[in-house]
Structure 1
Amino acid sequence: MASRPDDLPDDRPSGDPERDAVPIGTVLSGRRREGRAPAVPGRAAWRNRLRGLYVGTGGTATRFQRSVAIVDLLIIAFFVASPVIQGWRGFLWIDYSIAVLLALDLGARALAARRLSKWALRPVVWVDFVVLATLLAPAWMVNLGFLRILRLWTLSQNDFFWRFLRRHGRQDWEDAARAIVNLVTCLFVITGFVYIAFAGAGSGIENWIDALYFTVAAVTTTGFGDVTLPGTLGKLTSIVTMIVGISLFVRLAQALFRPFKVSFRCPRCALMRHEPDAVHCKACGHVLAIPDDGGN
């Protein structure tokens, strides 16, 4: 029988509690050097599998992320249609079902997070909790229902969609696509607020389409004048809508017309934006190794 190396911990109990209390790091190190895989607690292994599904790039992870993305898109379609179908008899059943799905998704992401405190401080997580609250208490938070469409913005923060573009050689579309998502999200959020706050108040807004019409006219600063919001709140809403709209359109124009640059962190000066074929960082001259799949 081969003898154990002297530098490895002996797993056999000696009867002495202090001697038997071998640090877990020493045991795992010894197992690795012996060629044995270190034992991973069941809960940690389960969390690792969850993390692999949400952020992995393998076949199983990609299929899982694709399924989650499809469900998210269907949920967003329901949110967009909510003002029109609120009177439907099965509306609340769908509403609560989506709340359950979103709660399960948030719980799974929390378990998959490496640091729960850091994950909980992310703005996208706060937005998802607000959306969940409007789903769980639709009768009490009906005036905040327009915030549900912010789920579209949180979905756009998922790297799955942008990896899809990069995989197909369309990474130059990423900035423009993000700008379009931000603009569309803004349009629907403002439309929902205008509909909730001003519908039926003598403003000419009788339904959700009227609210969307006003929002588009204000965001584009066209302002046809046939629909105006009454009172001080209406004027302030119009002002904010125009300012936000101009900002988002400028951002979209920049994304569409400025030269495409890749996002790659320089190891020396941390500059993020570089030319696609850059060999050296233009700020500090450090040699870069920008990944390139050869598609360009």
Structure 2
Amino acid sequence: MNPDPKSATDASFARLRRHLHFLYHGRARQARLFQACVITIDLLIIAFFIATPMIRDASAFLWYDYAIAVVLALDLICRGLAETRILPWLRRPTVIVDIFILVTLLFPAYLANLGFLRILRLWSLSRSGFLWRPLTKQQVARWRQPLEAVLNLVTFLFVASGFIYTFFFRASPGFTGYVDALYFTVATVTTTGFGDITLPGPWGKLTAIVTMICGISLFVRLAQAIVRPYKVFFPCPRCALQMHDPDAVHCKACGEILAIPDDGE
């Protein structure tokens, strides 16, 4: 009796989803190597997004743009198939941001003024946790919060620079105009205020105000993440509190006796 083609197709599709789940969420060596490769490609794509204002007039720019759109579309499809519940996954803010970035890549002629928002891909990678997958639990506990604070600040700097370049420095295209926008952003965020580059009109002043407020907030968040005492990842068996002091004997939430291993174990 011949097997049902539909059943065979469903079984193959289920195996594909299990394999993708293993690659994207697994902790084995093969999965970590795959995740490291995906992260490397993502960082190269983010570097392209940062350089976009300087190479937008290149003859091959649209080819690069569409090639990256294909890569991001494949990545989104694979990530979705790797999830056990696709609809809740689609509602996540990081996924919505990635879909928006994909739309800007597919329609660059119509959404050129929103291209600076593509840098949010760095935030979505960090916020989704995928950027930290190749790390061990101890490394995540030690480094994730300060590195997230650094990446949030870097993301804001480049998003703000892209916005300022798009709406205030388009008269100076290319490298010079983008450097002027980045220079103004950094000088504003740090409240240095040299005054050699300013934004014209009331909208320019409002942009500078928003940049200063957001920048100061992110700097404070970065300082808190660096100064905050180091904690280890060790879930409490009773209340599931995950972060504890390295020398903790009892859980500070429920009083359960802990047996936190040393870093060398």
- TM (norm. structure 2) is 0.87
2:48 to 73, 78, 84: 78
1:277 positional shift: 3.1
Amino acid at match of 1:253: A
| 1:162 maps to amino acid | W
Q: CA deviation at 1:270?
A: 5.1
Q: Partner residue of 1:104?
A: 74
Match of 1:91 in 2: 61
CA contact (8 A) 1:79 1:148 kept: yes
Contact 2:146 2:222 survives alignment (8 Å): yes
In 2, Cα distance between equivalents of 1:118 and 1:177: 27
Worse overlay, 153-162 or 178-187: 153-162
**Aligned counterpart, 2:147:** 177
d(CA) in 2 for partners of 1:207, 1:257: 36
Contact 1:263 1:272 in 2 (8 A): yes
In the TM superposition, residue 170 of structure 1 has moved relative to its aligned partner by 7.5
Distance 2:162 2:223 in 1: 25
Matched, 1:48 2:24: no
Partner of 1:5: none
State the alpha-carbon separation in 1 of the partners of residues 139 and 93 from structure 2. 30
**What is the CA-CA distance between 1:99 and the residue it aligns to?**
0.2
Q: Is the 8 A contact 1:48 1:112 kept in 2?
A: yes
Matches within 5 A, 1:1-296: 41-157=11-127, 159=129, 161-166=131-136, 171-200=141-170, 207-266=177-236, 268-269=238-239, 271-288=241-258, 292=261, 294-295=263-264
Q: CA 1:279–1:199 in 2, change beyond 3 Å: closer, same or farther?
A: same
The structural deviation recorded for 1:252 is: 0.8
Give the number of the structure whose residues are more often helix, by fraction.
Answer: 2
1:229–1:235 Cα contact (<8 Å) kept: yes
Mean CA deviation greater in 248-257 or 159-168: 159-168
Q: TM-score, structure 1 length as denominator? A: 0.78
Task: Quote the Cα distance in structure 2 between the aligned partners of 1:41 and 1:242.
Answer: 55
**CA 1:63/1:221 → structure 2, altered by over 3 Å: closer, same or farther?**
same
Post-superposition shift, 1:148?
A: 0.6
CA distance in 1 between partners of 2:106 and 2:232 (Å):
41
Q: In 2 relative to 1, CA 45–164 (structure 1 residues): closer, same or farther, beyond 3 Å?
A: closer
Q: CA deviation at 1:143?
A: 0.5
Match of 2:143, as an amino acid?
W
Q: Structure 1 residues 287 and 167 mapped into 2: Cα distance closer, same or farther (>3 Å)?
A: closer
Query: SS at the partner of 2:250?
Result: coil
Number of residue equivalences: 254
User: Can you give the 5+ residue segments of structure 2 that lack an aligned partner in the other structure?
Assistant: 1-9
Contact 1:162-1:171 within 8 A present in 2 as well: no
Distance (Å, rounded) in 2 between the aligned partners of 1:64 and 1:134: 27
Indicate the structure whose relative CO is greater, using CA pairs within 8 Å and at least 6 residues apart: 2
